[in-house]
């Protein structure tokens, strides 16, 4: 069975990515900290714990799945000024946003190599390129994701390709919650939309399409790339 593994599959972009791969004929092995709707197989757990990945590989073996792609979407955020930075939060940010990717790649790589022309797509962010006040931990982890992607592109070539997608503002529950923290969410949303050349924020479905492209043979001559999908945010700001 042609299968893709998606982490963070219960989230906005994770769910959209799951649905797109399903519509293209893939089986989906999903993982998140909560139940995932619509997947063929799932493991509920912490992806920064190797036990979770051992459970995932057990399913692969039991079901004799042909793993074509690993999509690393799961991640978290943390806001604090550097003068208030908490060591435990910083360590957990790197554990979830970076080390969990490393563990996933470590455990899934043999299956990707076996399937031939396997691919990995990592979730980055334009935050890695521009910085954001108060979110230095998040920015630092996404910078690490970019560097990890480039380093592994050399290490895994030519058998496995690895790329990353760097979204801008995307209409997810997490983003909406952030907008609603502003004293005037409606006005702030208009300001945020105006920061984009396309004058709007993106949708999870739009990012899912970029992920699918990077995971598919349509991007066969790409590896080590960080693909920006931000509605023109960077060029306007």
Catalytic positions are 138
Distance CA(114)–CA(133), nearest Å, equals: 43
Distance CA(164)–CA(54), nearest Å, equals: 24
Burial class (CB in 10 A: 0-12, 13-18, 19+), 117: middle
Question: What are the distances in angstroms from CA 152 to CA 86, 156, 210?
Answer: 30, 6, 20
Alpha helical stretches, state H, 123-227: 127-130, 136-156, 173-180, 185-194, 204-215
Q: Tokens 């399913």 label which residue?
A: 59
Whether 9 contacts 18, CB under 8 Å: yes
The 3-state DSSP class for residue 21 equals helix
Q: Kindly write down the DSSP assignment for every residue of 94-114, as one continuous string.
A: HIIIIIHHHHHHHHHHHHHHH
| Sequence-separated (6 or more) residues with CB below 8 Å from residue 61 | none
229, β-bridge pairs: 167
Residue 206 tokens read as 């739009």
């Amino acid at each position: 069975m042609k299968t893709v593994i998606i982490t963070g599959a219960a989230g906005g972009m994770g769910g959209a990515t799951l649905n797109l791969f399903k519509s293209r004929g893939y089986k989906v092995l999903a993982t998140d900290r909560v139940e995932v709707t619509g997947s063929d197989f799932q493991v509920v757990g912490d992806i920064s714990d190797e036990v979770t990945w051992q459970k995932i590989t057990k399913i692969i073996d039991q079901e004799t799945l042909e793993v074509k792609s690993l999509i690393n979407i799961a991640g978290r955020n943390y806001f604090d000024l550097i003068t208030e930075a908490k060591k435990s939060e910083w360590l957990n940010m790197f554990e979830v946003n970076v080390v969990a990717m490393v563990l996933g790649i470590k455990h899934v790589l043999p299956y990707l190599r076996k399937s031939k022309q396997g691919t990995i797509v990592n979730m980055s962010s334009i935050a890695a390129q521009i910085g954001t006040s108060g979110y230095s931990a998040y920015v630092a982890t996404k910078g690490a994701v970019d560097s990890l992607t480039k380093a592994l592109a050399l290490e895994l070539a030519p058998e496995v390709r690895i790329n990353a997608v760097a979204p801008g503002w995307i209409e997810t529950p997490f983003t909406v919650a952030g907008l609603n923290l502003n004293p005037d969410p409606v006005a702030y949303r208009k300001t945020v939309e105006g920061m984009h050349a396309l004058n709007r924020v993106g949708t999870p479905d739009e990012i899912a399409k970029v992920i699918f492209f990077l995971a598919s043979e349509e991007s066969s001559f790409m590896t080590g790339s960080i693909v920006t999908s931000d509605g023109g945010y960077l060029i306007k700001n």
